[in-house]
Amino acid sequence: MKPKALIFSGYGLNCEEETKVALEIAGALADIVHIEDVVKNPKLLGKYQIAVFPGGFSYGDDTGSGKAYGARVKHHLGTELRKFLERDTLMLGICNGFQILTASGILPGALIANDSARFTCRWVDLEVKGNSPWLTGLTTLSLPIAHGEGKYFDTQENLDALEKAGGIALTYETGEMSLAQGLPGNPNGALRNIAGITTYEGRVFGLMPHPERGAYFDQRPDWTVLRERFEKEGQKTPEFAAGIDIFKNAVKYFS
């Protein structure tokens, strides 16, 4: 039986359709549900094994990225989401969704303004750390980012605890994507190069890069160069890129 995923929407989240496509390609059944419908009927969560907070600009980032939506999640769905996570379920927060998960207290730390004080949109190179069902079998990958408040921040004591617990899931690295653009591997000044973290034994995963925007091979900025390389070597050009593997891992978790 295919696992069912609930994708939150509303108030400026705008990546729900791409996230739904990625989940369905991976083999899940996915529904886009407005947060108000979940607030009115929290028992909806009982129908699902996966919950996703996608990217976007909730509440226009007027009070800071993810803070208003995160407050609504905390005060109106906090108890229900804790019950959801008491089951053997998965939760994902992508970009603004990651900010929502930290603002609601589901994940530790905070995402603050990039060191550049600029919105940054480009591809980054990532190294997989820790042990999460979302990242099974992955060691490195490249994904796009698009954020102005993506610098992961916490006290040194809390960062030490997070690292000791294996909660640092992804770190920014200097690889082909950043070298080709002549840019630093860490795009926002995140402490300890953190691009993503996990809690609940790796079942809750928040990351700033967008795996749903790096699901297809031809979404890569270097896909034409790689296609020519594959053709010269007599290899078939792949249809999908590494981003889809994150969603496939979620489906495999329930198989």
| Distance (Å) of CA 60 to CA 16, 48, 169 | 16, 28, 28
Task: Let me know: does 47 contact 4? Beta carbons within 8 Å.
Answer: yes
Distance CA 131, CA 214 (A): 21
- Terminal-residue alpha carbon distance, the chain: 8
| Distance (Å) of CA 57 to CA 8, 97, 116 | 13, 9, 19
SS3 state of residue 231? helix
- List of E strands, the chain: 4-9, 29-34, 50-53, 90-94, 110-112, 120-128, 140-147, 151-153, 168-173, 194-199, 204-207
**Residues with a known catalytic role:** 95, 210, 212
DSSP assignment string, 116-163:
TSS-EEEEEEEEE-S--GGGTT-SEEEEEEEESS-EEE--HHHHHHHH
Distance CA 4, CA 45 (A): 10
SS3 state of residue 110? strand
| Distance (Å) of CA 108 to CA 11, 70, 78, 153, 154 | 23, 13, 15, 9, 8
